[in-house]
Each structure stands twice: as C-alpha cells, then as structure tokens.
Amino acid sequence: MSAALKRGWCPSLFRPMESGDGWLARIRPREGVVGEPVIAALAEAAARHGNGLIEVTSRANLQIRGLRPDSIAPFTEAMLAAGAADPDEAIEARANIIVSPLLGADPAIAAETAEIARAIRHGLADPKFAGLPAKFGFLLDGGGALTLGDLGLDIMLRASGAVRWELRCGGNTLTLDAADAASRALGLAAEFVGRARPGPARHAGPSRLGFVACVDGLAGAVLIMPPFGQMRVEQLAALGALAREYGDGGLRPTPWKSLAVGGVSVSDAAALLAAATALGFISAPGDSRLDIATCAGAGRCSRGEIDTHEAAAWLAARRPAGAALLHLSGCPKGCAHPGPAPLMLVGRAGRLDFLTDGRAADPPALRGLSLIETPAVLETAA
C-alpha cells in the first residue's frame, strides 16, 4: 500500500484527527460503558461543538464528528467535566482496550474482569509505553452471554475458568492466574515499544441484535445498531432516555458498531426494541443494511470519492436481506472492512469500481460504474 493510502491514527479526546467534515475525537468508555451523565453531556456538547454526528467504531468507541479548531478545547473541557475521559492524556492516548460489552450488567462475566481492565488502563500511563505502535490494542473477554468471539487484537486476555485467563499474542497462548493477567499483558506490550504491531486480523463478525438473556433468564441486554454505525445527537439522547426507562441507564458500544443497554427485563425488552426502531435504529437481524459495510465517505472523509452512506442506503433498499456481504468503500483504503469481502464497490471520482472476493485496494474487475448500474452487477456476481 502506498504512503498516500496510509491510515491515520486512532483519535482520542486529547488528540483529535482532521477529516473531511472537521476534526474527529473519540470517547473511550472506561470499562466499556457510557454512563447516564456522560450521554447527556456528550449529546449536548457534540451538537454545540461538532456537526451533530456520532459514530460507533469497531474499537467500541464513540466518535464525534465535525469539531472545529476553535471548538476542540471547549468540547474537551465539557467531556472532562462530565467524567467521560481520564484527565491523564497518556492514559487516553494508549488505552485502546475492548472489554466484554456487558461488563457490569452480566453476572456471568468473570468477576475480576473490571479489575484487570483498570490495571491495564492505568499501567499504560507509564512513560515507557509512549512508543507503543499506533493503534496497538488490548482485548479483555470475561465471557458471559455476549462474548467477543473470534475478534482479535494485538494482546488478548480471555477468561478460561475460575480465576484463570488465557493470554494470547501473535499465535502464542499462555494460561495464567487472574492476579497476574494485567502485569503479564503489560509486560508483553512493553516488548512492542518502538517495534511494529503483531497485527492480527480483527474478525468482528455479524452483530447480535435484539434481546440477549443473561444467566437467570429473567433479565439481560438489548442490542441495537445505528444504520452504518452513525447516528445524530438527538438519537443518542433519546436512546439514553430509553436506557434510563428500561435498563441500567448506560450505553455500551460494541466492536460490532452496535449499542447495548444492560439491565433490561424480559418483559420490557419488546417495548425498548420498538422504541429504538422508531428512533431509526436497527433492532433485529434481517435488515438488508446489515449486509453492507461502509465508511464515512465523501463529505465526511477527505479521501472519500463517493457519498457512501447515501449509496449504501439506496443499495440496501434494492438488495434482499441475507445477501452476501458488500463492502462499499469511499476510496481504496478500505477502512470499514480491511479484510477481503465477497462483494466490493470502491468509490472513484463519483463512480464505482467493482470486484469480488477482495480488498478495496485490489485491482477491480469493472471500473466506472454508476450507482444505478450496480444492483444488476451485484445480483449477477452473487
């Protein structure tokens, strides 16, 4: 891949990144949950200081779009005042940690999971970690009703029994006691300071949507998804209100670009799902929008060569649910789905290139298609 296609860093609250519609900042939820006070503050601040768009990322973060140079500082101050981030810039810069999405809401998750997550987070403040590779990440899967499946990051810790954990990195696995998990993970991370990442593939897989029951079967979580991972602040605020009414008040971003509401009773699940659907969220499998992976696109990303969200919505209305995965990329970087996809459309100067079983940067089979031409091409190739 050429230098011109090099991906940017993972933005944080203290280190936003410039994009096509302004600057991006991310909220990295501590222990995986965005609490009630933060939801309200985030919705207000993103509307005041950004362009009102918020995304759920594949790192289980919330990404705020459209910040301006003069609004970055007041947005940061508002988030710190709400407790949305650690005031230690070093922690926020390095704490790329994905935890079990239902941590704190599912009693079946290993009890030591939160403690391990905190220890890793605060350990990363040590200046010796300043040279960790960009996007270096930790995965912490404590089990429960919603595991992280085959999702892979640079260093992975997975509960494997009573106070026992598996530490995995680069194809190697070590089983150890929970008490040693954080220190061993940090020790391993220190070996990558100044070096290249191990770089395992992330296989997030399809998102589970709807109600997920926890161990007692009487309560659990509801998972919903903003179409193509993006919502407006009004939707976030309204969903936060639903989380207060039907659940524990928090929102849990997942690496599947969905949001989980914990503490939902079986009897309340249907009402919550119906209300979320009315707000514009996807609340059940079988929606054709779930079969399209897409990025921010033109107008939001400086590299985007086509409006991907508009094109994806148009295509979703013309594809049957359950069709082969389509990766619609605004440019050859392929940020939304780095691995091969069965069907691939790549924006090029307002038109689309097409290929099958490949990545966005691969040579296309067809070039310069109009959007109107693509449904027939996709149907023939499927």
pLDDT digits (tens, 9 = 90+) for 91-112: 888 889 999 999 999 999 999 9
**Residue type (1 letter), 49:** H
Proportion of the chain above pLDDT 70, given as a percent: 95
**Between 288 and 8, where is the model more confident?**
288
Q: How confident is the model at residue 115 (pLDDT cuts 50, 70, 90)?
A: very high
Confidence at residue 108, expressed as pLDDT on a 0 to 100 scale: 94
Confidence at residue 91, expressed as pLDDT on a 0 to 100 scale: 86
Q: How confident is the model at residue 207 (pLDDT cuts 50, 70, 90)?
A: confident
**Between 204 and 222, where is the model more confident?**
222
Confidence at residue 5, expressed as pLDDT on a 0 to 100 scale: 37
Confidence at residue 1, expressed as pLDDT on a 0 to 100 scale: 28
Domains of the chain: 210-278 (3.30.70.3340), 288-381 (3.30.413.10)
Q: How confident is the model at residue 149 (pLDDT cuts 50, 70, 90)?
A: confident
Confidence at residue 3, expressed as pLDDT on a 0 to 100 scale: 32
**Between 8 and 333, where is the model more confident?**
333
Segment 297-326 mean pLDDT: 90
Rounded CA-CA distance 352/307 in Å is 11
pLDDT at 200 over 60: no
Task: Pick from 1-5, 196-200, 312-316 the range whose average pLDDT is largest.
Answer: 312-316
Range in 151-155, 215-219, 271-275, 327-331 with the lowest mean pLDDT: 215-219
Confidence at residue 202, expressed as pLDDT on a 0 to 100 scale: 63
pLDDT at 2 over 50: no
- Mean pLDDT for the chain? 91
Q: State the Cα angle at 263 between 230 and 97, rounded to 5°.
A: 55
Kindly report the backbone phi and psi dihedral angles of residue 74, in degrees, each rounded to the nearest multiple of 5, phi listed first: -65, -30
Confidence at residue 134, expressed as pLDDT on a 0 to 100 scale: 80
Q: How confident is the model at residue 369 (pLDDT cuts 50, 70, 90)?
A: very high
pLDDT at 11 over 80: yes
